[in-house]
Amino acid sequence: MQFGEDSVRDVEGLRGVARQLAAARSPGQRVVGVLAAMGSTTSELLQLAHEVSSTPHERELDMLVSVGERAACALTAMALVDLGYPAVSLTGSQAGIVTDTAHGRARIVDVRARRIHDALDGGAIVLVAGFQGVSTDAEVTTLGRGGSEATAVALAAALAASACVLLRTAEVHSADPRIVGGARRLSAVSYDELLELGAHGHRVLPLRSVELARNHGVRLHVRSPSPDAEGTWVVKEDDERMLERAIISGVAHTVDETVYRVDDVPAATLFSALADAAVNVDTILQTSDGLVFSASNDDARSAAAVLDGLDARWSADSELGQVSVVGAGMRSHPGVAATAFATLEKNGIEPVIVTTSPIRISCHVRRDAVERAVRALHDAFGLAESAEAADG
């Protein structure tokens, strides 16, 4: 069970986490909890580091910011003992999380879980500090964005857990509930569907944790901390409800992208330079007029510097948004594209760029039409009704 910052924001939150772990332990299950740092602990530690040094040493920075998760685990273990449950807290290194040597953005390369197995065999609930590990050079490392979820999934794989429960306030819906009033919680999605939804704006989980779960066959259960929350199961496509299911699972959208059109630069040269500048590229199209790609607005300055450095002829359009229809069912159901484009046309929305995958159709449209497109597509594919039926 992985608990994020919302769950461990204060002492009462930690007590609540302890109660949830105890409740999970009561039926006789072996339970491991992975905790984030409390509240703003990590931000405060980072601020201290930058007050002390204008360029904090990356090794020492990892030593510093890894403290927050350790404190949360130790405090929760104390709360569990007070509830009458044996518990032990472990750092990432004590738990056997082995990483590469990249400080601040390390990747997990192995999990040596002997100490966790021993504690579980002894009847304890195990608390593991998320977001951290020990490198192959025996240094403390942190895992970067999504590191706590990645820790939980990696442990679930190593321990052959029946499920990895990821607790968060945001649930997996057929669309953003802030835009679509009829959006429904999805009872189940496949790994590939959630990856496509997440990559195109529906960011309930960090993509690295979903990829890790898919690669190791870990069943994810994404739900709110409420004890009676049903949540969403993330499973292989042929599991659970996949025999009778909606053709489309959801509509995702994003408005924080810029679309670039580039002439007279070979694709290999362009994308190598963008990668060297750590610019994350999404959509890529090659046309007779040149290359088209999209990237996050956060990378706009870096992308512009790369393009100028290549002496490219280029333009950027930051007034577009992307709307994506996602569903594994479209592989075996013709007419999805016809419905999507007919719906956009009926609503006076013209796609500027169209890209596809076997389970996704994405359209870049003018930014002021994005929300209208999301609502229209959600309605056209009957997602509110499909999700309600699936949940019932």
Q: Where are the alpha helices (DSSP H) in the chain?
A: 11-25, 41-52, 58-65, 67-82, 114-121, 147-158, 191-199, 207-216, 267-276, 300-309, 336-346, 370-380, 383-391
pLDDT of residue 30: 96
pLDDT of residue 389: 44
**Residues of the chain above pLDDT 90, percent:** 79
DSSP 237: T
Bridge partner residues of 361 (DSSP):
325, 356
pLDDT of residue 238: 60
Statement: 250-391 belongs to CATH 3.30.2130.10:
yes
Bridge partner residues of 258 (DSSP):
295
Query: What integer best gives the mean pLDDT of the chain?
Result: 91
pLDDT digits (tens, 9 = 90+) for 249-303: 999 999 999 999 999 899 999 999 999 999 999 899 988 888 999 999 999 999 9
Token couple for 145? 């964005």
Residue 391 reports pLDDT greater than 60: no
195 with 359: CB under 8 angstroms? no
Distance of alpha carbon 4 from alpha carbon 152, whole angstroms: 11
CB contact set of 8 (below 8 Å; sequence gap of 6+): 14, 17, 35, 36, 37, 38, 39, 72, 76
- End-to-end CA separation in angstroms for the chain: 26
Token couple for 55? 């360029």
Distance of alpha carbon 135 from alpha carbon 137, whole angstroms: 5
367 with 253: CB under 8 angstroms? no
Token couple for 300? 């706009």
Distance of alpha carbon 230 from alpha carbon 228, whole angstroms: 6
pLDDT digits (tens, 9 = 90+) for 368-389: 999 999 999 999 999 985 544 4
pLDDT of residue 240: 45
Give the mean pLDDT of 196-212: 90
Residue 390 reports pLDDT greater than 60: no
Beta pairing class for 125-129 and 108-111: unpaired
Q: Which residue has the tokens 């496949």?
A: 190
pLDDT of residue 392: 43
Fold of domain 2-167: Carbamate kinase (3.40.1160)
| Residue 35: closest CA among 143, 145, 161, 147 | 147
pLDDT of residue 244: 45
Give the mean pLDDT of 37-55: 93
Residue 202 reports pLDDT greater than 90: no
Residue 87 reports pLDDT greater than 80: yes
Residue 239 reports pLDDT greater than 80: no
pLDDT of residue 245: 56
What is the band of 364 on the pLDDT scale with cuts at 50, 70, 90? Answer: very high
List the 313-317 sheet strands across, edge first.
281-287, 290-296, 257-263, 313-317
Residue 227 reports pLDDT greater than 80: no
Residue 26 reports pLDDT greater than 50: yes
pLDDT of residue 243: 39
Distance of alpha carbon 140 from alpha carbon 270, whole angstroms: 35
Could you give the maximum distance between any two Cα atoms of the chain, in Å? 70
Which backbone phi and psi does 76 adopt, to 5 degrees?
-70, -35
Residue 208 reports pLDDT greater than 60: yes
Distance of alpha carbon 197 from alpha carbon 193, whole angstroms: 6
Bridge partner residues of 355 (DSSP):
362
Residue 177 reports pLDDT greater than 50: yes
Question: Residue ranges per domain, the chain?
Answer: 2-167, 250-391
Bridge partner residues of 321 (DSSP):
365
